[in-house]
Structure 1
């Protein structure tokens, strides 16, 4: 399923983006000093459309793109057609692509960017909410639905934006809460309606079963939730599960579309969990967070196992293209990559320390 949900001031524990640490060279005087490591902007989200091509976004309007699995990255920030003149330096929090050409980015000050050519050009779309920090977006398509396209963006103050014309125009939907919303997720069009969830400040979880009217669900906790994700965990049946993660190691899970949320143990007390991601039609998932934290499950979260990411910086987002290969990104532009479900990680960009 297409995600997202894109987190906010958070960063899930996982490794996917990192660079090389500083080497050393001998000075003429015989002493040694470290070569300065290149500094990168912090990355808050990552999305791959294949094993080779992906994007990451973050501070200072950072948009970076790779076509070799993350070994090298090019900036696409210069390709943005902004609505106004000026410096246009924003924090970008979430990126999602529906195919290799069409993608979306949201960020602070109501920023919404769209590309239809793989990022060769990005255009800014007026959302009408310049005073809102947009944290997460989910784009859905189902030819059986009316209309066949639907999208939601969530942000601060309980903001919910909705589009049913491919993202050309956006309207505000009534929200049952005024708390900040950090993440949004959807299982698409199911049983006659669009099913969408959002999570955020003070344990808030909200839900719509028709894509239009929202109601609050009871997470059972007052702890801020930074990421929420729903997926079908069965390869043959429709068996939808949901997870929400957040501050102080909290994990909540549901098997009944959010009517009830129960705790899961990720052994992460004292650490903020920034992102959660599951591979569609499998019970396999990952969590990332503070201090390079990565957790892995093969049983839909009944048990979460520790995985060493090789980095010590906060990881804000994680994304997999199959059950083996994935990436995580985080503080100071770190990117890490795995080809064995997260058992081992390689730093591709930035410093692990």
Structure 2
């Protein structure tokens, strides 16, 4: 099952508030969460989790305080991974059964080479500002008559001055070498060597307001970004940039998913839109709910599933043209979902992990 998840508004506000508390004024003896390994906890699987995905036959989920858990029996039993940070983690992706990446608050990027059992830090917010500033200063020096480069360099300097307080919200890898991370205020970086080095791409997005980028997801060969205030972007290889798509809704989109030939965007207040032409035009889909759609997935039959902030479960059997609320599903908030090999669906959220039997 393909899966996608969203960044809840309350969670983003909390992340930014916590980042402010952890700013320049730090108490004596304070250890930065970027230098503090995640503590082992028997309750990790019952604590809030924000994303879940598959690494081959293994399931891997991430959440606050650096918690990463994995299961080798389709969600029945879970083990806690070895993680070098205690920063809250927001999203993850695996390029294959072994290599995966997770991102989170404080600009952290983690990498696993063993299917999610252990992780190493590749990048964090203490490095991102310097990286952005140096990249755009070099472009400003090479192109002194172009006013955009000093502006981007100034943004990098601001990141340096404010410290590691900018959450990364989404991650996508095309394969084990080529990938992207996205976050608040148009923060976006690309790697072509598996995360050993990163290149800022703020100048490659049609996002002049610097809106938050909530998620990045590929559908076939097409790569999409979902953001706030109706922002939808799509990578155009010919232009080498993420171009803006027309949006039928000016509120926040939390994610996109789909199959070749059809794309769904989902977001606040039950809003869902469907495109059958690669995002060039969209039709609103009546979900029948007013709560925010917080996660979505596609099962092995090709049916779409949506999950609301109130715990409602919706299913579409007609390619996303219509949805019906599923009866007799115990409500609980869901932040991400993925199909287990047993055909059940593994859900994660504020109450940890639960398994929804196949229906």
TM-score, length of structure 2 as denominator length? 0.73
3-state SS of 1:203 partner: coil
The reply to whether residue 313 of structure 1 matches residue 313 of structure 2 is: no
What corresponds to 2:318 in structure 1?
Answer: 299
What corresponds to 1:101 in structure 2?
Answer: 98
The reply to whether residue 110 of structure 1 matches residue 103 of structure 2 is: no
The reply to whether residue 133 of structure 1 matches residue 139 of structure 2 is: no
Which structure has more relative contact order (CA 8 Å, sep 6+)? It is 1
* Aligned partners of 2:2 and 2:299 also within 8 Å: no
As a proportion of its length, which structure holds more strand?
Answer: 1
Give the paired residue count.
Answer: 285
- Which of 68, 72, 76 is equivalent to 1:67? 72
The reply to whether residue 53 of structure 1 matches residue 58 of structure 2 is: yes
What corresponds to 2:186 in structure 1?
Answer: 158
What corresponds to 2:7 in structure 1?
Answer: 8
Q: By how many angstroms is 1:323 displaced? A: 9.9
Distance 1:134 1:186, change over 3 A: same
Question: How many angstroms apart in 1 are the aligned matches of 2:79 and 2:123?
Answer: 26
TM-score, length of structure 1 as denominator length? 0.74
Distance 1:323 1:119, change over 3 A: closer
Cα deviation, 1:88-138, whole Å, max 9, x if unaligned, reads 422211121122211111111111111101233210011533332111111
Distance 1:49 1:121, change over 3 A: closer
What corresponds to 1:273 in structure 2?
Answer: 293
3-state SS of 1:266 partner: coil
Question: How many angstroms apart in 2 are the aligned matches of 1:69 and 1:105?
Answer: 20
Question: How many angstroms apart in 2 are the aligned matches of 1:121 and 1:8?
Answer: 24
Aligned positions of 1:175-186 closer than 5 A: 175-177=205-207, 178-186=210-218
3-state SS of 2:87 partner: coil
3-state SS of 1:109 partner: helix
Distance 1:100 1:91, change over 3 A: same
- Which of 252, 259, 269 is equivalent to 1:248? 269
What corresponds to 1:263 in structure 2?
Answer: 284
Q: By how many angstroms is 1:198 displaced? A: 0.5
3-state SS of 2:307 partner: strand
Distance 1:322 1:251, change over 3 A: farther
Distance 1:170 1:125, change over 3 A: same
* Aligned partners of 1:2 and 1:139 also within 8 Å: no
3-state SS of 2:251 partner: coil
* Aligned partners of 2:314 and 2:324 also within 8 Å: yes
Distance 1:308 1:317, change over 3 A: farther
Gaps of 5+ in 1: 12-37, 82-87, 142-147, 190-194, 233-239, 344-353
- Which of 329, 345, 349 is equivalent to 2:348? 329
Question: How many angstroms apart in 2 are the aligned matches of 1:335 and 1:69?
Answer: 11
What corresponds to 1:168 in structure 2?
Answer: 196
* Aligned partners of 1:317 and 1:328 also within 8 Å: yes
Question: How many angstroms apart in 1 are the aligned matches of 2:267 and 2:342?
Answer: 23
Question: How many angstroms apart in 2 are the aligned matches of 1:70 and 1:241?
Answer: 30
